[in-house]
Structure 1
Protein backbone atom coordinates (compact mmCIF):
# COMPACT_ATOMS: atom_id res chain seq x y z
CA UNK A 1 0.00 0.00 0.00
CA UNK A 2 1.37 3.42 -0.98
CA UNK A 3 1.12 6.38 1.37
CA UNK A 4 0.24 9.68 -0.27
CA UNK A 5 0.56 13.01 1.51
CA UNK A 6 -3.04 14.25 1.79
CA UNK A 7 -2.01 17.90 1.41
CA UNK A 8 0.00 17.19 -1.77
CA UNK A 9 -2.84 15.28 -3.40
CA UNK A 10 -5.42 17.89 -2.42
CA UNK A 11 -3.33 20.77 -3.83
CA UNK A 12 -2.60 18.87 -7.03
CA UNK A 13 -6.24 17.99 -7.65
CA UNK A 14 -7.35 21.56 -6.97
CA UNK A 15 -4.80 22.75 -9.55
CA UNK A 16 -5.87 20.21 -12.16
CA UNK A 17 -9.58 20.79 -11.66
CA UNK A 18 -9.01 24.56 -11.70
CA UNK A 19 -7.05 24.28 -14.94
CA UNK A 20 -9.86 22.37 -16.62
CA UNK A 21 -12.86 24.14 -15.08
CA UNK A 22 -15.17 25.91 -17.55
CA UNK A 23 -15.66 28.65 -14.91
CA UNK A 24 -12.37 28.59 -13.00
CA UNK A 25 -12.02 30.22 -9.62
CA UNK A 26 -8.86 32.01 -8.51
CA UNK A 27 -8.16 29.24 -6.04
CA UNK A 28 -10.37 26.15 -6.26
CA UNK A 29 -10.82 24.30 -2.98
CA UNK A 30 -11.80 20.74 -2.05
CA UNK A 31 -15.30 21.94 -1.10
CA UNK A 32 -16.05 23.46 -4.51
CA UNK A 33 -18.84 21.75 -6.44
CA UNK A 34 -17.86 20.66 -9.94
CA UNK A 35 -21.14 21.63 -11.57
CA UNK A 36 -22.44 24.41 -9.32
CA UNK A 37 -19.22 26.30 -8.54
CA UNK A 38 -16.83 25.41 -11.36
CA UNK A 39 -19.28 25.19 -14.27
CA UNK A 40 -18.57 21.62 -15.35
CA UNK A 41 -21.13 20.14 -17.75
CA UNK A 42 -21.38 16.56 -18.98
CA UNK A 43 -18.74 16.85 -21.72
CA UNK A 44 -16.29 18.71 -19.44
CA UNK A 45 -16.81 16.06 -16.74
CA UNK A 46 -15.96 13.31 -19.22
CA UNK A 47 -12.83 15.19 -20.29
CA UNK A 48 -11.85 15.62 -16.63
CA UNK A 49 -12.38 11.90 -16.00
CA UNK A 50 -10.15 10.91 -18.94
CA UNK A 51 -7.51 13.43 -17.89
CA UNK A 52 -7.46 12.08 -14.34
CA UNK A 53 -7.24 8.51 -15.66
CA UNK A 54 -4.18 9.45 -17.71
CA UNK A 55 -2.60 11.70 -15.10
CA UNK A 56 -2.81 9.19 -12.26
CA UNK A 57 -2.41 6.09 -14.49
CA UNK A 58 -5.74 4.86 -13.14
CA UNK A 59 -7.33 1.68 -14.32
CA UNK A 60 -10.55 2.22 -16.26
CA UNK A 61 -12.52 0.39 -13.61
CA UNK A 62 -11.62 3.04 -11.04
CA UNK A 63 -13.35 5.78 -13.02
CA UNK A 64 -16.34 3.49 -13.50
CA UNK A 65 -16.84 3.89 -9.75
CA UNK A 66 -17.04 7.68 -10.07
CA UNK A 67 -20.81 7.97 -9.76
CA UNK A 68 -21.92 10.41 -7.11
CA UNK A 69 -18.92 12.71 -7.43
CA UNK A 70 -20.06 16.25 -6.68
CA UNK A 71 -17.10 18.11 -5.17
CA UNK A 72 -13.35 18.26 -5.68
CA UNK A 73 -12.99 16.40 -2.36
CA UNK A 74 -14.98 13.48 -3.84
CA UNK A 75 -12.38 13.20 -6.61
CA UNK A 76 -9.64 13.33 -4.00
CA UNK A 77 -11.22 10.45 -2.08
CA UNK A 78 -11.55 8.35 -5.25
CA UNK A 79 -7.96 9.00 -6.32
CA UNK A 80 -6.54 8.43 -2.83
CA UNK A 81 -8.34 5.08 -2.55
CA UNK A 82 -7.01 4.06 -5.97
CA UNK A 83 -3.44 5.03 -5.05
CA UNK A 84 -3.68 3.20 -1.75
CA UNK A 85 -5.06 0.13 -3.55
CA UNK A 86 -2.24 0.21 -6.10
CA UNK A 87 -4.56 0.91 -9.06
CA UNK A 88 -3.22 4.46 -9.54
CA UNK A 89 -0.08 6.47 -8.81
CA UNK A 90 0.93 10.09 -8.30
CA UNK A 91 1.98 11.76 -11.57
CA UNK A 92 5.59 12.70 -12.23
CA UNK A 93 6.80 16.17 -13.24
CA UNK A 94 6.95 15.25 -16.94
CA UNK A 95 3.32 14.12 -16.98
CA UNK A 96 2.25 17.33 -15.24
CA UNK A 97 4.24 19.43 -17.73
CA UNK A 98 2.49 17.64 -20.61
CA UNK A 99 -0.89 18.40 -19.04
CA UNK A 100 0.05 22.06 -18.81
CA UNK A 101 1.16 22.13 -22.45
CA UNK A 102 -2.14 20.61 -23.60
CA UNK A 103 -3.95 23.45 -21.83
CA UNK A 104 -1.58 26.19 -22.97
CA UNK A 105 0.08 26.86 -19.62
CA UNK A 106 3.40 26.17 -18.01
CA UNK A 107 2.77 23.82 -15.11
CA UNK A 108 3.91 25.38 -11.85
CA UNK A 109 3.19 23.25 -8.79
CA UNK A 110 1.60 25.02 -5.86
CA UNK A 111 4.01 25.04 -2.90
Structure 2
Protein backbone atom coordinates (compact mmCIF):
# COMPACT_ATOMS: atom_id res chain seq x y z
CA UNK A 1 0.00 0.00 0.00
CA UNK A 2 1.35 3.44 -0.93
CA UNK A 3 1.94 6.11 1.69
CA UNK A 4 0.19 9.44 1.05
CA UNK A 5 2.41 11.92 -0.73
CA UNK A 6 3.01 15.48 0.44
CA UNK A 7 0.56 16.68 -2.21
CA UNK A 8 -2.11 14.23 -1.01
CA UNK A 9 -1.74 15.41 2.58
CA UNK A 10 -2.65 19.01 1.77
CA UNK A 11 0.70 20.19 3.16
CA UNK A 12 2.76 22.58 1.06
CA UNK A 13 5.52 20.65 -0.76
CA UNK A 14 8.10 23.09 0.69
CA UNK A 15 6.90 22.46 4.25
CA UNK A 16 9.53 19.83 5.19
CA UNK A 17 12.34 22.24 4.28
CA UNK A 18 10.66 25.07 6.19
CA UNK A 19 10.16 22.84 9.23
CA UNK A 20 13.86 21.87 9.18
CA UNK A 21 14.88 25.53 8.86
CA UNK A 22 12.69 26.50 11.82
CA UNK A 23 14.15 23.70 13.94
CA UNK A 24 17.74 24.59 12.99
CA UNK A 25 17.09 28.25 13.81
CA UNK A 26 15.45 27.42 17.13
CA UNK A 27 18.32 25.20 18.30
CA UNK A 28 21.09 27.63 17.30
CA UNK A 29 23.04 29.14 20.22
CA UNK A 30 21.61 32.51 19.20
CA UNK A 31 18.10 31.40 18.11
CA UNK A 32 16.99 32.94 14.85
CA UNK A 33 13.73 32.81 12.92
CA UNK A 34 15.53 33.09 9.59
CA UNK A 35 18.07 30.60 8.30
CA UNK A 36 18.99 29.97 4.69
CA UNK A 37 19.99 26.74 2.95
CA UNK A 38 23.51 28.02 2.38
CA UNK A 39 24.27 28.75 6.01
CA UNK A 40 26.69 26.39 7.72
CA UNK A 41 25.66 24.86 11.01
CA UNK A 42 29.00 25.18 12.79
CA UNK A 43 30.69 28.25 11.31
CA UNK A 44 27.73 30.55 10.69
CA UNK A 45 25.10 29.34 13.14
CA UNK A 46 27.45 28.39 15.99
CA UNK A 47 26.48 24.74 16.46
CA UNK A 48 28.84 22.65 18.56
CA UNK A 49 29.00 18.86 18.81
CA UNK A 50 26.34 18.70 21.54
CA UNK A 51 23.89 20.81 19.52
CA UNK A 52 24.53 18.68 16.42
CA UNK A 53 23.59 15.57 18.39
CA UNK A 54 20.50 17.31 19.77
CA UNK A 55 19.53 18.40 16.24
CA UNK A 56 19.83 14.79 15.08
CA UNK A 57 17.56 13.58 17.90
CA UNK A 58 15.03 16.36 17.30
CA UNK A 59 14.92 15.52 13.57
CA UNK A 60 14.37 11.85 14.44
CA UNK A 61 11.50 12.74 16.77
CA UNK A 62 9.80 15.43 14.69
CA UNK A 63 10.01 13.64 11.34
CA UNK A 64 9.80 10.11 12.79
CA UNK A 65 13.01 9.28 10.96
CA UNK A 66 13.83 5.59 11.09
CA UNK A 67 16.89 5.36 13.38
CA UNK A 68 20.10 4.91 11.45
CA UNK A 69 23.70 4.01 12.06
CA UNK A 70 26.60 6.46 11.93
CA UNK A 71 27.07 5.84 8.20
CA UNK A 72 23.65 7.37 7.47
CA UNK A 73 23.55 10.15 10.07
CA UNK A 74 22.31 13.61 9.07
CA UNK A 75 24.96 15.78 7.43
CA UNK A 76 26.55 18.50 9.53
CA UNK A 77 27.53 20.97 6.80
CA UNK A 78 24.81 23.38 5.75
CA UNK A 79 21.14 23.91 6.48
CA UNK A 80 20.40 22.88 2.87
CA UNK A 81 22.20 19.56 3.35
CA UNK A 82 20.06 18.81 6.40
CA UNK A 83 16.92 19.78 4.47
CA UNK A 84 17.90 17.51 1.55
CA UNK A 85 18.63 14.65 3.96
CA UNK A 86 15.18 14.91 5.57
CA UNK A 87 13.37 15.21 2.22
CA UNK A 88 15.24 12.15 0.90
CA UNK A 89 14.20 10.17 4.00
CA UNK A 90 10.57 11.20 3.43
CA UNK A 91 10.75 10.13 -0.22
CA UNK A 92 12.27 6.79 0.81
CA UNK A 93 9.43 6.20 3.26
CA UNK A 94 11.85 6.40 6.20
CA UNK A 95 10.36 9.59 7.64
CA UNK A 96 7.06 11.47 7.69
CA UNK A 97 6.05 15.06 7.04
CA UNK A 98 5.07 16.53 10.40
CA UNK A 99 1.89 18.52 10.79
CA UNK A 100 2.43 22.26 11.37
CA UNK A 101 1.03 21.90 14.90
CA UNK A 102 3.68 19.30 15.76
CA UNK A 103 6.42 21.67 14.59
CA UNK A 104 4.95 24.53 16.62
CA UNK A 105 4.80 22.34 19.73
CA UNK A 106 8.40 21.19 19.23
CA UNK A 107 9.61 24.78 18.85
CA UNK A 108 7.65 25.86 21.92
CA UNK A 109 9.19 23.03 23.95
CA UNK A 110 12.69 24.03 22.82
CA UNK A 111 12.06 27.70 23.62
CA UNK A 112 10.81 26.81 27.11
CA UNK A 113 14.03 24.92 27.84
CA UNK A 114 14.40 21.88 30.09
CA UNK A 115 11.78 21.23 32.75
CA UNK A 116 12.92 21.86 36.31
Q: Give the whole-Å Cα distance in 2 for the aligned partners of 1:25 and 1:104.
A: 11
CA RMSD of aligned residues (A): 2.3
Q: Give the whole-Å Cα distance in 2 for the aligned partners of 1:63 and 1:75.
A: 15
Tell me, what secondary structure is at the counterpart of 2:104? Answer: helix
Pick the structure with greater CA Rg. 2
Residue 51 to residue 74, structure 1, CA distance change in 2 (3 Å): same
Structure 1 unaligned regions, length at least 5: 106-111
**Aligned equivalent of 1:42:** 49
2:82 is matched with which residue: 75, 84, 91?
Answer: 75
Residue 53 to residue 26, structure 1, CA distance change in 2 (3 Å): closer
| CA shift for structure 1 position 93 | 3.3
**Aligned equivalent of 1:27:** 34
**Aligned equivalent of 2:97:** 90
**Aligned equivalent of 2:24:** 17
Tell me, what secondary structure is at the counterpart of 1:103? Answer: helix
Structure 2 unaligned regions, length at least 5: none
TM value normalised by structure 2: 0.76
TM value normalised by structure 1: 0.79
